Amino acid sequence: QSVLTQPPSVSAAPGQKVTISCSASNSHMGNYFVSWYQQAPETAPKLLIYDNSKRPSGIPDRFSGSNSGTSATLDITGLQTGDEADYYCGAWDSSLSAVVFGGGTKLTVL
């Protein structure tokens, strides 16, 4: 059982917005600096968001993140078919001295 919980799947139409949530089973979300990764089929994960809301260079501003202290969210606006992938949240848990990942969310662009 993952420390971080994500919905197994989400879907939306092209051009629409989708939100993927990430919650912590241990009430530590407020202490986490959450990262988000995108993994297309048969490829390595790619960093989308770090430190809850920062984007690495080259990541379009259609991708945004936030952390309310109770849950983290990844928002994707202007959905494209190329956004179909699995999305994972992750964070360093200092109490566990471990990196924890969510179980992943499969995004389908209808």
Partner 1 sequence: EVQLVESGGGLVKPGGSLRLSCAASGFNFHSYTMNWVRQAPGKGLEWVSSISSSSNHIYYANSMKGRFTISRDNAKNSLHLQMNSLRAEDTGVYYCARDGAAAGREFDFWGQGTLVTVSS
Maximum Cα–Cα distance across the chain: 40
One character per residue 65-104, x = contact with partner 1 (rule: CB under 8 A): ---------------------x-x-xxx----xxxxxxxx
> Which of 78/94 has CB closer to partner 1?
94
Residues 30-59 that bind partner 1 (CB under 8 A): 32-35, 37, 39, 44-47, 50-52, 54, 56
What number of chain residues touch partner 1 (CB under 8 A)? 29
CB of 101 to partner 1, least distance (A): 5
Best CA proximity match to 82, nearest among 62, 99, 101, 97: 62
- Alpha carbon separation from 62 to 18, 41, 42, 57 (Å, rounded): 11, 21, 23, 13
Using DSSP bridges, classify how beta strands 63-67 and 71-76 pair: parallel, antiparallel or unpaired: antiparallel
The residue assigned the tokens 């499969």 is: 106
Q: Could you list the residues that contact partner 1 (CB under 8 A)?
A: 2, 32-35, 37, 39, 44-47, 50-52, 54, 56, 86, 88, 90-92, 97-104
